[in-house]
Amino acid sequence: MDYSDSCIVRHFDYYCALSPKDKKILAALEENPIKISRGTSLWQEGENADEFYTLSQGWAYSYRYLENGARQILEVYLPGDILGLQEFAFTDRLEGVAMIEDGIICPFPHQRMLELFSESLTLTAVMFAIASRQQALLSERLVSVSRRSARERLAHFLHEIFLRQRQTDPKGGAKMRLPLTQEQLGDLLGMTSVHVSRTFSVLNEAKLAYRNRYHVTIPDLKALAKEGGFDERYLNSDLTCFLRKNPPTPPLAKAFDT
Amino acid sequence: MDYSDSCIVRHFDYYCALSPKDKKILAALEENPIKISRGTSLWQEGENADEFYTLSQGWAYSYRYLENGARQILEVYLPGDILGLQEFAFTDRLEGVAMIEDGIICPFPHQRMLELFSESLTLTAVMFAIASRQQALLSERLVSVSRRSARERLAHFLHEIFLRQRQTDPKGGAKMRLPLTQEQLGDLLGMTSVHVSRTFSVLNEAKLAYRNRYHVTIPDLKALAKEGGFDERYLNSDLTCFLRKNPPTPPLAKAFDT
DNA sequence: CGCGACTTTGAGTCTCATCAAGTTCGGTGG
DNA sequence: CCACCGAACTTGATGAGACTCAAAGTCGCG
Protein backbone atom coordinates (compact mmCIF):
# COMPACT_ATOMS: atom_id res chain seq x y z
CA MET A 1 0.00 0.00 0.00
CA ASP A 2 1.69 3.20 -1.10
CA TYR A 3 -1.15 5.66 -0.57
CA SER A 4 -0.08 7.46 -3.73
CA ASP A 5 -3.72 8.06 -4.51
CA SER A 6 -3.80 10.35 -1.48
CA CYS A 7 -3.16 13.91 -2.47
CA ILE A 8 -1.74 14.87 0.87
CA VAL A 9 0.69 11.97 0.98
CA ARG A 10 2.00 12.96 -2.45
CA HIS A 11 2.28 16.53 -1.27
CA PHE A 12 4.19 15.70 1.91
CA ASP A 13 6.34 13.17 0.13
CA TYR A 14 7.55 16.07 -2.00
CA TYR A 15 9.33 17.50 1.03
CA CYS A 16 11.17 14.40 2.16
CA ALA A 17 11.11 10.62 2.10
CA LEU A 18 8.23 9.39 4.23
CA SER A 19 8.34 6.07 5.99
CA PRO A 20 5.39 3.70 5.53
CA LYS A 21 4.37 4.51 9.07
CA ASP A 22 4.34 8.23 8.31
CA LYS A 23 2.29 7.64 5.18
CA LYS A 24 -0.19 5.67 7.19
CA ILE A 25 -0.56 8.44 9.75
CA LEU A 26 -1.06 10.97 7.00
CA ALA A 27 -3.51 8.92 5.04
CA ALA A 28 -5.54 8.52 8.22
CA LEU A 29 -6.19 12.25 8.11
CA GLU A 30 -8.29 11.65 5.05
CA GLU A 31 -10.61 9.08 6.59
CA ASN A 32 -13.75 11.20 6.38
CA PRO A 33 -14.06 12.67 2.91
CA ILE A 34 -16.94 15.06 2.34
CA LYS A 35 -18.24 16.34 -0.94
CA ILE A 36 -18.68 20.08 -1.04
CA SER A 37 -19.93 22.27 -3.81
CA ARG A 38 -18.68 25.45 -5.40
CA GLY A 39 -19.27 28.61 -3.39
CA THR A 40 -19.95 26.80 -0.13
CA SER A 41 -18.05 28.21 2.81
CA LEU A 42 -16.37 25.76 5.17
CA TRP A 43 -16.42 28.32 7.94
CA GLN A 44 -16.64 32.04 8.50
CA GLU A 45 -14.56 34.53 10.39
CA GLY A 46 -15.33 34.41 14.10
CA GLU A 47 -16.61 30.85 14.28
CA ASN A 48 -15.04 28.40 16.67
CA ALA A 49 -11.94 26.74 15.24
CA ASP A 50 -11.50 23.13 16.20
CA GLU A 51 -10.81 21.33 12.97
CA PHE A 52 -8.40 21.29 10.09
CA TYR A 53 -9.35 20.01 6.66
CA THR A 54 -7.27 18.42 3.98
CA LEU A 55 -8.28 19.55 0.52
CA SER A 56 -8.52 16.44 -1.67
CA GLN A 57 -10.23 17.87 -4.70
CA GLY A 58 -11.12 21.32 -5.97
CA TRP A 59 -9.71 24.76 -5.28
CA ALA A 60 -10.53 26.85 -2.23
CA TYR A 61 -9.65 30.29 -0.89
CA SER A 62 -9.45 32.06 2.45
CA TYR A 63 -10.79 35.58 2.84
CA ARG A 64 -11.50 38.46 5.17
CA TYR A 65 -14.31 41.00 4.97
CA LEU A 66 -13.78 44.59 6.13
CA GLU A 67 -16.26 46.91 7.77
CA ASN A 68 -16.82 48.74 4.49
CA GLY A 69 -17.80 45.51 2.75
CA ALA A 70 -14.54 45.08 0.86
CA ARG A 71 -13.16 41.58 0.72
CA GLN A 72 -9.55 40.48 0.72
CA ILE A 73 -8.71 37.00 -0.50
CA LEU A 74 -5.66 35.90 1.44
CA GLU A 75 -4.73 32.63 -0.15
CA VAL A 76 -5.76 30.23 -2.85
CA TYR A 77 -5.55 26.55 -1.95
CA LEU A 78 -4.96 23.70 -4.36
CA PRO A 79 -5.59 19.97 -3.81
CA GLY A 80 -3.13 18.56 -1.29
CA ASP A 81 -3.10 21.71 0.83
CA ILE A 82 -4.29 21.83 4.42
CA LEU A 83 -7.08 24.26 5.27
CA GLY A 84 -7.18 26.02 8.61
CA LEU A 85 -3.49 25.79 9.50
CA GLN A 86 -3.46 29.56 10.04
CA GLU A 87 -5.70 29.16 13.07
CA PHE A 88 -3.49 26.67 14.86
CA ALA A 89 -2.87 29.12 17.68
CA PHE A 90 -6.35 30.60 17.85
CA THR A 91 -9.62 29.45 19.32
CA ASP A 92 -11.68 31.32 16.72
CA ARG A 93 -11.36 31.56 12.98
CA LEU A 94 -9.55 34.66 11.80
CA GLU A 95 -10.48 34.07 8.19
CA GLY A 96 -13.31 32.48 6.27
CA VAL A 97 -12.68 29.70 3.77
CA ALA A 98 -14.85 28.85 0.77
CA MET A 99 -14.73 26.55 -2.22
CA ILE A 100 -13.93 27.97 -5.65
CA GLU A 101 -15.32 24.87 -7.32
CA ASP A 102 -16.89 21.56 -6.38
CA GLY A 103 -14.48 19.46 -4.36
CA ILE A 104 -13.79 16.99 -1.58
CA ILE A 105 -12.48 17.87 1.86
CA CYS A 106 -11.55 15.75 4.88
CA PRO A 107 -11.93 17.17 8.38
CA PHE A 108 -9.75 16.17 11.31
CA PRO A 109 -9.70 17.63 14.81
CA HIS A 110 -7.04 20.06 16.04
CA GLN A 111 -6.04 17.59 18.70
CA ARG A 112 -5.00 15.17 16.02
CA MET A 113 -2.19 17.52 15.08
CA LEU A 114 -0.66 17.15 18.53
CA GLU A 115 -0.84 13.38 18.21
CA LEU A 116 0.95 13.71 14.92
CA PHE A 117 3.66 15.80 16.61
CA SER A 118 4.24 13.07 19.17
CA GLU A 119 4.12 10.23 16.68
CA SER A 120 6.52 11.41 14.03
CA LEU A 121 9.39 13.86 14.04
CA THR A 122 9.50 13.81 10.28
CA LEU A 123 5.85 14.74 9.93
CA THR A 124 6.27 17.47 12.53
CA ALA A 125 9.08 18.99 10.50
CA VAL A 126 7.13 18.69 7.27
CA MET A 127 4.08 20.26 8.87
CA PHE A 128 6.26 23.13 10.02
CA ALA A 129 7.74 23.38 6.55
CA ILE A 130 4.29 23.61 5.04
CA ALA A 131 3.36 26.42 7.40
CA SER A 132 6.62 28.12 6.52
CA ARG A 133 5.93 27.81 2.82
CA GLN A 134 2.46 29.24 3.25
CA GLN A 135 3.98 32.20 4.95
CA ALA A 136 6.37 32.61 2.05
CA LEU A 137 3.41 32.71 -0.34
CA LEU A 138 1.75 35.31 1.83
CA SER A 139 4.88 37.46 2.04
CA GLU A 140 5.26 37.40 -1.69
CA ARG A 141 1.63 38.45 -2.09
CA LEU A 142 2.21 41.34 0.31
CA VAL A 143 5.17 42.48 -1.74
CA SER A 144 3.08 42.26 -4.88
CA VAL A 145 0.09 44.15 -3.56
CA SER A 146 2.23 46.77 -1.89
CA ARG A 147 4.90 47.46 -4.45
CA ARG A 148 3.98 46.18 -7.87
CA SER A 149 1.75 47.71 -10.53
CA ALA A 150 -1.45 45.99 -11.56
CA ARG A 151 0.26 44.48 -14.61
CA GLU A 152 3.15 43.14 -12.60
CA ARG A 153 0.84 41.78 -9.93
CA LEU A 154 -1.32 39.86 -12.34
CA ALA A 155 1.66 38.56 -14.31
CA HIS A 156 3.32 37.50 -11.08
CA PHE A 157 0.26 35.68 -9.81
CA LEU A 158 -0.31 33.87 -13.10
CA HIS A 159 3.26 32.67 -12.96
CA GLU A 160 2.94 31.55 -9.37
CA ILE A 161 -0.23 29.59 -9.91
CA PHE A 162 1.21 28.05 -13.05
CA LEU A 163 4.19 26.68 -11.13
CA ARG A 164 2.09 25.58 -8.16
CA GLN A 165 -0.13 23.54 -10.40
CA ARG A 166 2.88 21.96 -12.07
CA GLN A 167 4.40 21.06 -8.71
CA THR A 168 1.55 18.85 -7.60
CA ASP A 169 0.49 17.77 -11.06
CA PRO A 170 3.43 17.99 -13.42
CA LYS A 171 1.85 17.79 -16.82
CA GLY A 172 3.37 20.06 -19.44
CA GLY A 173 1.77 22.58 -21.75
CA ALA A 174 1.45 26.33 -21.83
CA LYS A 175 -2.23 26.21 -20.99
CA MET A 176 -3.48 26.09 -17.44
CA ARG A 177 -6.75 26.08 -15.62
CA LEU A 178 -7.61 29.14 -13.56
CA PRO A 179 -11.11 28.73 -12.14
CA LEU A 180 -11.22 32.19 -10.54
CA THR A 181 -13.55 34.96 -11.65
CA GLN A 182 -12.04 38.36 -12.28
CA GLU A 183 -13.80 39.57 -9.17
CA GLN A 184 -11.99 36.93 -7.11
CA LEU A 185 -8.70 37.77 -8.79
CA GLY A 186 -9.26 41.41 -7.95
CA ASP A 187 -9.99 40.66 -4.32
CA LEU A 188 -6.86 38.54 -4.18
CA LEU A 189 -4.56 41.04 -5.85
CA GLY A 190 -5.97 44.18 -4.30
CA MET A 191 -7.68 45.72 -7.28
CA THR A 192 -11.18 46.00 -8.72
CA SER A 193 -12.61 43.42 -11.10
CA VAL A 194 -12.89 46.18 -13.69
CA HIS A 195 -9.19 46.78 -13.50
CA VAL A 196 -8.44 43.07 -13.68
CA SER A 197 -10.29 43.01 -16.97
CA ARG A 198 -8.34 45.96 -18.32
CA THR A 199 -5.09 44.44 -17.12
CA PHE A 200 -5.80 41.16 -18.87
CA SER A 201 -6.33 43.18 -22.05
CA VAL A 202 -2.93 44.74 -21.62
CA LEU A 203 -1.22 41.38 -21.03
CA ASN A 204 -3.10 40.04 -24.00
CA GLU A 205 -1.86 42.83 -26.26
CA ALA A 206 1.64 42.35 -24.93
CA LYS A 207 1.34 38.65 -25.88
CA LEU A 208 2.13 37.63 -22.31
CA ALA A 209 -1.06 35.77 -21.38
CA TYR A 210 -4.33 34.89 -23.03
CA ARG A 211 -7.37 34.29 -20.86
CA ASN A 212 -10.38 32.45 -22.14
CA ARG A 213 -13.08 31.54 -19.68
CA TYR A 214 -11.30 29.66 -16.94
CA HIS A 215 -8.17 28.90 -18.88
CA VAL A 216 -5.01 30.91 -19.39
CA THR A 217 -2.39 30.31 -22.06
CA ILE A 218 1.13 31.48 -21.40
CA PRO A 219 3.12 31.47 -24.62
CA ASP A 220 6.40 32.59 -23.06
CA LEU A 221 6.94 31.86 -19.39
CA LYS A 222 10.28 33.70 -19.27
CA ALA A 223 8.71 36.86 -20.63
CA LEU A 224 5.91 36.62 -18.09
CA ALA A 225 8.44 36.17 -15.28
CA LYS A 226 10.25 39.29 -16.41
CA GLU A 227 7.04 41.30 -16.55
CA GLY A 228 6.06 40.24 -13.02
CA GLY A 229 9.49 40.35 -11.46
CA PHE A 230 9.01 36.71 -10.65
CA ASP A 231 11.67 34.78 -8.75
CA GLU A 232 10.63 31.24 -8.03
CA ARG A 233 12.82 30.65 -5.00
CA TYR A 234 9.94 31.26 -2.64
CA LEU A 235 8.16 28.21 -4.04
CA ASN A 236 11.09 25.83 -3.66
CA SER A 237 10.93 24.79 -0.06
CA ASP A 238 13.31 22.08 0.91
CA LEU A 239 13.99 20.11 4.05
CA THR A 240 17.14 18.33 2.95
CA CYS A 241 19.17 20.29 5.44
CA PHE A 242 17.28 18.45 8.18
CA LEU A 243 15.98 15.26 6.75
CA ARG A 244 16.77 12.88 3.97
CA LYS A 245 14.86 13.71 0.85
CA ASN A 246 13.44 11.43 -1.76
CA PRO A 247 15.99 10.95 -4.48
CA PRO A 248 14.43 12.29 -7.65
CA THR A 249 12.58 9.37 -9.19
CA PRO A 250 11.25 9.97 -12.65
CA PRO A 251 8.81 7.24 -13.67
CA LEU A 252 11.38 5.45 -15.78
CA ALA A 253 14.09 5.32 -13.14
CA LYS A 254 11.60 3.69 -10.85
CA ALA A 255 11.20 0.84 -13.27
CA PHE A 256 14.92 0.13 -13.12
CA ASP A 257 14.94 0.04 -9.34
CA THR A 258 12.75 -3.00 -9.18
CA MET B 1 16.03 29.26 38.66
CA ASP B 2 13.02 30.64 36.83
CA TYR B 3 14.69 32.15 33.78
CA SER B 4 12.28 35.05 33.97
CA ASP B 5 15.08 37.35 32.88
CA SER B 6 15.02 35.57 29.55
CA CYS B 7 12.83 37.37 27.13
CA ILE B 8 12.02 34.32 25.13
CA VAL B 9 11.03 32.27 28.16
CA ARG B 10 8.62 35.03 29.19
CA HIS B 11 7.31 35.15 25.68
CA PHE B 12 6.70 31.40 25.40
CA ASP B 13 5.33 31.20 28.92
CA TYR B 14 2.62 33.55 27.70
CA TYR B 15 1.25 30.76 25.53
CA CYS B 16 1.07 28.02 28.12
CA ALA B 17 2.57 26.79 31.37
CA LEU B 18 6.12 25.68 30.73
CA SER B 19 7.77 22.96 32.79
CA PRO B 20 11.18 23.71 34.31
CA LYS B 21 12.67 21.34 31.75
CA ASP B 22 11.06 23.29 28.91
CA LYS B 23 12.32 26.54 30.33
CA LYS B 24 15.79 25.14 30.50
CA ILE B 25 15.68 24.03 26.86
CA LEU B 26 14.47 27.45 25.83
CA ALA B 27 16.95 29.40 27.88
CA ALA B 28 19.70 27.33 26.29
CA LEU B 29 18.82 28.95 22.97
CA GLU B 30 20.17 32.19 24.35
CA GLU B 31 23.58 30.90 25.27
CA ASN B 32 25.49 33.01 22.78
CA PRO B 33 24.34 36.61 23.04
CA ILE B 34 25.84 39.03 20.53
CA LYS B 35 25.67 42.80 20.61
CA ILE B 36 24.59 44.32 17.37
CA SER B 37 24.19 47.94 16.42
CA ARG B 38 21.47 49.91 14.73
CA GLY B 39 21.25 49.49 10.98
CA THR B 40 23.36 46.35 10.87
CA SER B 41 21.85 43.57 8.80
CA LEU B 42 21.88 40.06 10.25
CA TRP B 43 21.60 38.59 6.79
CA GLN B 44 20.50 39.46 3.30
CA GLU B 45 18.17 37.87 0.84
CA GLY B 46 19.81 34.96 -0.95
CA GLU B 47 22.39 34.09 1.70
CA ASN B 48 22.54 30.60 3.09
CA ALA B 49 20.06 30.05 5.92
CA ASP B 50 21.33 27.82 8.68
CA GLU B 51 20.60 29.70 11.86
CA PHE B 52 17.75 31.21 13.79
CA TYR B 53 18.23 34.08 16.21
CA THR B 54 16.34 35.03 19.30
CA LEU B 55 15.96 38.77 19.66
CA SER B 56 16.81 39.68 23.25
CA GLN B 57 17.03 43.44 22.99
CA GLY B 58 16.18 46.04 20.39
CA TRP B 59 13.77 46.07 17.48
CA ALA B 60 14.44 44.50 14.11
CA TYR B 61 12.67 44.18 10.77
CA SER B 62 12.63 41.86 7.79
CA TYR B 63 12.56 43.24 4.26
CA ARG B 64 12.65 42.51 0.57
CA TYR B 65 14.10 44.65 -2.20
CA LEU B 66 12.53 44.65 -5.67
CA GLU B 67 14.24 45.00 -9.02
CA ASN B 68 13.21 48.66 -9.23
CA GLY B 69 14.90 49.45 -5.93
CA ALA B 70 11.70 49.64 -3.89
CA ARG B 71 11.79 48.04 -0.48
CA GLN B 72 9.01 46.26 1.35
CA ILE B 73 9.32 45.78 5.08
CA LEU B 74 7.52 42.57 5.90
CA GLU B 75 7.56 42.44 9.65
CA VAL B 76 8.75 44.33 12.69
CA TYR B 77 10.22 42.23 15.46
CA LEU B 78 10.21 43.07 19.16
CA PRO B 79 12.34 41.58 21.96
CA GLY B 80 11.31 37.98 22.59
CA ASP B 81 10.60 37.23 18.94
CA ILE B 82 12.49 34.66 16.91
CA LEU B 83 14.23 35.84 13.76
CA GLY B 84 14.47 33.63 10.71
CA LEU B 85 11.50 31.35 11.40
CA GLN B 86 10.14 32.16 7.96
CA GLU B 87 13.06 30.32 6.37
CA PHE B 88 12.50 27.06 8.22
CA ALA B 89 11.71 25.25 5.00
CA PHE B 90 14.25 26.96 2.80
CA THR B 91 17.98 26.58 2.31
CA ASP B 92 18.43 30.25 1.39
CA ARG B 93 17.13 33.40 2.97
CA LEU B 94 14.04 34.78 1.29
CA GLU B 95 14.19 38.03 3.21
CA GLY B 96 16.83 40.23 4.76
CA VAL B 97 16.73 41.17 8.42
CA ALA B 98 18.24 44.29 9.97
CA MET B 99 18.30 46.02 13.33
CA ILE B 100 16.18 49.13 13.86
CA GLU B 101 18.22 50.05 16.93
CA ASP B 102 21.12 48.71 18.95
CA GLY B 103 20.29 45.33 20.44
CA ILE B 104 21.30 41.83 21.44
CA ILE B 105 20.67 38.68 19.45
CA CYS B 106 21.40 34.99 20.13
CA PRO B 107 22.06 32.64 17.22
CA PHE B 108 21.24 28.95 17.29
CA PRO B 109 21.49 26.42 14.46
CA HIS B 110 18.50 25.19 12.47
CA GLN B 111 19.24 21.66 13.61
CA ARG B 112 18.55 22.72 17.16
CA MET B 113 14.93 23.21 16.25
CA LEU B 114 14.57 19.54 15.38
CA GLU B 115 16.12 18.60 18.72
CA LEU B 116 13.57 20.83 20.37
CA PHE B 117 10.80 19.04 18.48
CA SER B 118 11.98 15.70 19.78
CA GLU B 119 12.56 16.90 23.33
CA SER B 120 9.29 18.64 24.11
CA LEU B 121 5.82 18.35 22.72
CA THR B 122 4.80 21.53 24.50
CA LEU B 123 7.59 23.57 22.97
CA THR B 124 6.81 22.10 19.56
CA ALA B 125 3.23 23.28 19.86
CA VAL B 126 4.28 26.70 21.11
CA MET B 127 6.77 27.06 18.29
CA PHE B 128 4.01 26.21 15.86
CA ALA B 129 1.73 28.69 17.59
CA ILE B 130 4.34 31.41 17.23
CA ALA B 131 4.66 30.71 13.53
CA SER B 132 0.88 30.79 13.28
CA ARG B 133 0.70 34.13 15.05
CA GLN B 134 3.35 35.58 12.79
CA GLN B 135 1.27 34.54 9.84
CA ALA B 136 -1.73 36.25 11.41
CA LEU B 137 0.27 39.48 11.68
CA LEU B 138 1.28 39.15 8.05
CA SER B 139 -2.29 38.49 6.90
CA GLU B 140 -3.52 41.53 8.73
CA ARG B 141 -0.81 43.62 7.10
CA LEU B 142 -1.83 42.33 3.71
CA VAL B 143 -5.42 43.33 4.39
CA SER B 144 -4.24 46.77 5.48
CA VAL B 145 -2.01 47.42 2.52
CA SER B 146 -4.50 46.04 0.06
CA ARG B 147 -7.78 47.44 1.28
CA ARG B 148 -7.34 50.31 3.72
CA SER B 149 -6.59 53.97 3.04
CA ALA B 150 -3.34 55.51 4.18
CA ARG B 151 -5.05 56.94 7.27
CA GLU B 152 -6.58 53.64 8.23
CA ARG B 153 -3.35 51.79 7.61
CA LEU B 154 -1.29 54.03 9.82
CA ALA B 155 -3.92 54.13 12.56
CA HIS B 156 -4.16 50.35 12.43
CA PHE B 157 -0.45 49.84 12.66
CA LEU B 158 -0.05 52.26 15.56
CA HIS B 159 -2.72 50.34 17.42
CA GLU B 160 -1.11 47.01 16.66
CA ILE B 161 2.33 48.04 17.79
CA PHE B 162 0.88 49.63 20.91
CA LEU B 163 -0.76 46.36 21.92
CA ARG B 164 2.25 44.26 21.00
CA GLN B 165 4.47 46.35 23.23
CA ARG B 166 1.99 46.05 26.08
CA GLN B 167 1.82 42.28 25.71
CA THR B 168 5.49 41.70 26.42
CA ASP B 169 6.00 44.72 28.63
CA PRO B 170 2.72 45.66 30.27
CA LYS B 171 3.36 49.13 31.56
CA GLY B 172 0.47 51.54 31.19
CA GLY B 173 0.35 54.98 29.66
CA ALA B 174 -0.87 56.47 26.41
CA LYS B 175 2.67 57.13 25.22
CA MET B 176 4.72 54.55 23.41
CA ARG B 177 8.07 54.26 21.77
CA LEU B 178 8.17 53.87 18.01
CA PRO B 179 11.79 53.85 16.87
CA LEU B 180 10.94 53.70 13.16
CA THR B 181 11.66 56.49 10.71
CA GLN B 182 8.85 57.62 8.47
CA GLU B 183 10.70 56.07 5.58
CA GLN B 184 10.63 52.70 7.34
CA LEU B 185 6.96 53.15 8.19
CA GLY B 186 6.28 53.89 4.55
CA ASP B 187 8.12 50.81 3.37
CA LEU B 188 6.17 48.74 5.89
CA LEU B 189 2.76 50.14 5.07
CA GLY B 190 3.19 50.42 1.33
CA MET B 191 3.33 54.17 0.94
CA THR B 192 5.96 56.89 0.48
CA SER B 193 7.65 58.56 3.42
CA VAL B 194 6.20 61.83 2.18
CA HIS B 195 2.74 60.44 2.49
CA VAL B 196 3.47 59.04 5.93
CA SER B 197 4.32 62.55 7.01
CA ARG B 198 1.10 63.95 5.61
CA THR B 199 -0.89 61.14 7.16
CA PHE B 200 0.58 61.80 10.58
CA SER B 201 -0.52 65.41 10.16
CA VAL B 202 -4.05 64.25 9.48
CA LEU B 203 -4.11 61.93 12.51
CA ASN B 204 -2.66 64.77 14.52
CA GLU B 205 -5.41 67.17 13.48
CA ALA B 206 -8.01 64.50 14.15
CA LYS B 207 -6.54 64.17 17.65
CA LEU B 208 -5.96 60.46 17.11
CA ALA B 209 -2.18 60.27 17.49
CA TYR B 210 0.67 62.66 18.21
CA ARG B 211 4.12 61.77 16.98
CA ASN B 212 7.18 63.41 18.40
CA ARG B 213 10.55 62.06 17.42
CA TYR B 214 10.39 58.38 18.20
CA HIS B 215 7.41 58.56 20.50
CA VAL B 216 3.71 58.46 19.79
CA THR B 217 0.94 59.51 22.15
CA ILE B 218 -2.47 57.97 21.72
CA PRO B 219 -5.05 59.95 23.68
CA ASP B 220 -8.00 57.72 22.82
CA LEU B 221 -7.29 54.12 21.90
CA LYS B 222 -10.91 53.36 21.09
CA ALA B 223 -11.09 56.22 18.61
CA LEU B 224 -7.88 55.03 16.98
CA ALA B 225 -9.26 51.51 16.72
CA LYS B 226 -12.34 52.82 15.00
CA GLU B 227 -10.31 54.87 12.56
CA GLY B 228 -8.13 51.89 11.62
CA GLY B 229 -10.85 49.23 11.67
CA PHE B 230 -8.80 47.48 14.30
CA ASP B 231 -9.94 44.17 15.78
CA GLU B 232 -7.47 42.75 18.22
CA ARG B 233 -8.45 39.11 17.87
CA TYR B 234 -5.54 38.41 15.58
CA LEU B 235 -3.12 39.26 18.38
CA ASN B 236 -4.69 36.98 20.97
CA SER B 237 -3.26 33.61 20.20
CA ASP B 238 -4.07 30.91 22.65
CA LEU B 239 -3.15 27.27 23.07
CA THR B 240 -5.53 26.39 25.88
CA CYS B 241 -7.49 24.17 23.56
CA PHE B 242 -4.44 21.90 23.44
CA LEU B 243 -2.39 22.56 26.52
CA ARG B 244 -2.84 23.78 30.02
CA LYS B 245 -2.24 27.49 30.23
CA ASN B 246 -0.72 29.49 33.04
CA PRO B 247 -3.43 30.68 35.38
CA PRO B 248 -3.22 34.48 35.38
CA THR B 249 -0.72 35.37 38.08
CA PRO B 250 -0.61 39.04 38.94
CA PRO B 251 2.45 39.85 41.08
CA LEU B 252 0.43 40.01 44.28
CA ALA B 253 -1.24 36.64 43.86
CA LYS B 254 2.17 35.11 43.44
CA ALA B 255 3.19 36.29 46.88
CA PHE B 256 0.28 34.43 48.43
CA ASP B 257 1.26 31.20 46.71
CA THR B 258 4.51 30.89 48.61
C1' DC C 1 -34.98 31.78 -26.19
C1' DG C 2 -33.91 34.37 -22.53
C1' DC C 3 -32.01 34.76 -17.93
C1' DG C 4 -28.12 35.51 -14.99
C1' DA C 5 -23.34 35.51 -14.09
C1' DC C 6 -19.45 37.30 -15.83
C1' DT C 7 -16.81 40.50 -18.66
C1' DT C 8 -15.75 44.60 -21.39
C1' DT C 9 -15.60 49.48 -22.35
C1' DG C 10 -16.03 54.52 -21.50
C1' DA C 11 -15.93 58.91 -18.86
C1' DG C 12 -14.92 61.34 -14.84
C1' DT C 13 -12.63 61.47 -10.25
C1' DC C 14 -9.61 60.71 -6.37
C1' DT C 15 -5.86 58.96 -3.71
C1' DC C 16 -1.37 58.77 -3.53
C1' DA C 17 3.31 59.13 -6.03
C1' DT C 18 6.83 62.11 -7.73
C1' DC C 19 9.82 65.88 -7.72
C1' DA C 20 11.62 69.66 -5.48
C1' DA C 21 12.54 73.07 -2.03
C1' DG C 22 12.74 74.26 2.55
C1' DT C 23 12.73 73.30 7.81
C1' DT C 24 13.89 71.11 12.26
C1' DC C 25 16.86 69.12 15.36
C1' DG C 26 20.50 66.45 17.50
C1' DG C 27 25.29 65.76 17.29
C1' DT C 28 30.06 67.25 16.37
C1' DG C 29 34.01 69.86 16.31
C1' DG C 30 36.11 74.35 16.62
C1' DC D 1 29.08 77.88 23.55
C1' DC D 2 28.13 78.33 18.89
C1' DA D 3 28.25 77.21 13.96
C1' DC D 4 27.54 73.77 10.97
C1' DC D 5 26.35 69.32 9.04
C1' DG D 6 23.37 65.64 7.88
C1' DA D 7 19.46 62.84 8.73
C1' DA D 8 14.83 63.18 9.18
C1' DC D 9 10.80 65.58 8.36
C1' DT D 10 7.46 69.04 6.19
C1' DT D 11 5.15 71.40 2.54
C1' DG D 12 3.72 72.56 -2.22
C1' DA D 13 2.68 71.67 -7.13
C1' DT D 14 1.76 68.41 -10.60
C1' DG D 15 0.61 63.95 -12.63
C1' DA D 16 -0.35 58.92 -13.05
C1' DG D 17 -2.59 54.74 -11.89
C1' DA D 18 -6.44 52.86 -10.26
C1' DC D 19 -11.36 53.55 -8.59
C1' DT D 20 -16.31 54.50 -9.35
C1' DC D 21 -20.34 54.54 -11.79
C1' DA D 22 -22.75 53.20 -15.66
C1' DA D 23 -24.02 50.76 -19.73
C1' DA D 24 -23.49 47.36 -23.08
C1' DG D 25 -21.71 42.87 -24.58
C1' DT D 26 -20.79 37.60 -24.14
C1' DC D 27 -21.76 33.07 -23.01
C1' DG D 28 -23.47 28.83 -20.72
C1' DC D 29 -27.46 26.82 -19.14
C1' DG D 30 -32.22 25.85 -18.04
**In this structure, is residue A135 part of a structural domain?**
yes
Question: Among A146, A180, A201, where does a domain finish?
Answer: A146
Q: What is the mean predicted confidence (pLDDT) over A163-182?
A: 89
Say yes or no: B111 and B204 in one domain: no
**In this structure, is residue B239 part of a structural domain?**
no
Say yes or no: A19 and A44 in one domain: yes
Say yes or no: A174 and A198 in one domain: yes
- The tens digit of pLDDT for each residue in A93-118 reads 999 999 999 999 999 999 999 999 99
Determine whether the interchain pair B72/A136 forms a contact, defined as Cβ–Cβ distance below 8 Å.
Answer: no
Say yes or no: B39 and B71 in one domain: yes
pLDDT of A57 above 70: yes
pLDDT band at residue A253, thresholds of 50, 70 and 90? very low
**Domain interval for residue B87:** 7-147+245-250
**In this structure, is residue B71 part of a structural domain?**
yes
| More confident of the two residues A95 and A170 | A95
Number of structural domains, chain A?
2
Say yes or no: B110 and B154 in one domain: no
pLDDT of A7 above 90: no
pLDDT number for residue A244: 58
pLDDT number for residue A13: 83
Q: What is the mean predicted confidence (pLDDT) over A64-87?
A: 96
In Å, how far is B213's CA from the nearest CA of chain A?
Answer: 26
pLDDT number for residue A142: 98
Say yes or no: A13 and A131 in one domain: yes
Say yes or no: B199 and B170 in one domain: yes
pLDDT number for residue A2: 65
**In this structure, is residue B2 part of a structural domain?**
no
Say yes or no: A104 and A171 in one domain: no
CATH number where A50 lies: 2.60.120.10
pLDDT number for residue A18: 87
A30 DSSP assignment: T
pLDDT number for residue B257: 40
pLDDT of A155 above 60: yes
Low-confidence ranges of chain B (pLDDT < 50): 248-258
Residue of B74, B136, B148 lying closest to A86 (CB–CB): B136
pLDDT number for residue B254: 40
Q: What is the rounded distance in angstroms from the CA atom of residue A162 to the CA atom of residue A167? A: 9
Determine whether the interchain pair A89/B128 forms a contact, defined as Cβ–Cβ distance below 8 Å.
Answer: yes
pLDDT number for residue B136: 97
Q: Which residue is nearest to nucleotide D10 (CA to C1')?
A: B197
pLDDT band at residue A250, thresholds of 50, 70 and 90? very low
Say yes or no: A11 and A39 in one domain: yes
Say yes or no: A80 and A161 in one domain: no
A128 in contact with chain B, both atoms CB, cutoff 8 A: yes
Q: Of B239, B9, B18, B11, whose CA–CA distance to B125 is shortest?
A: B239
pLDDT number for residue B134: 96
For the stretch A130-133, contacts whose Cβ atoms lie closer than 8 Å and that sit 24 or more positions apart, written own/partner, are: A130/A12, A130/A15, A130/A82, A130/A85, A130/B89, A131/A85, A131/A88, A131/B128, A131/B131, A131/B132, A131/B135, A132/A237, A132/B85, A132/B86, A132/B87, A132/B88, A132/B89, A132/B90, A132/B131, A133/A235, A133/A237, A133/B89
Say yes or no: B128 and B160 in one domain: no
- What element of type H or E holds B17? none
Q: What is the mean predicted confidence (pLDDT) over A217-226?
A: 96
**In this structure, is residue B257 part of a structural domain?**
no
Q: Which residue is nearest to nucleotide D17 (CA to C1')?
A: A149
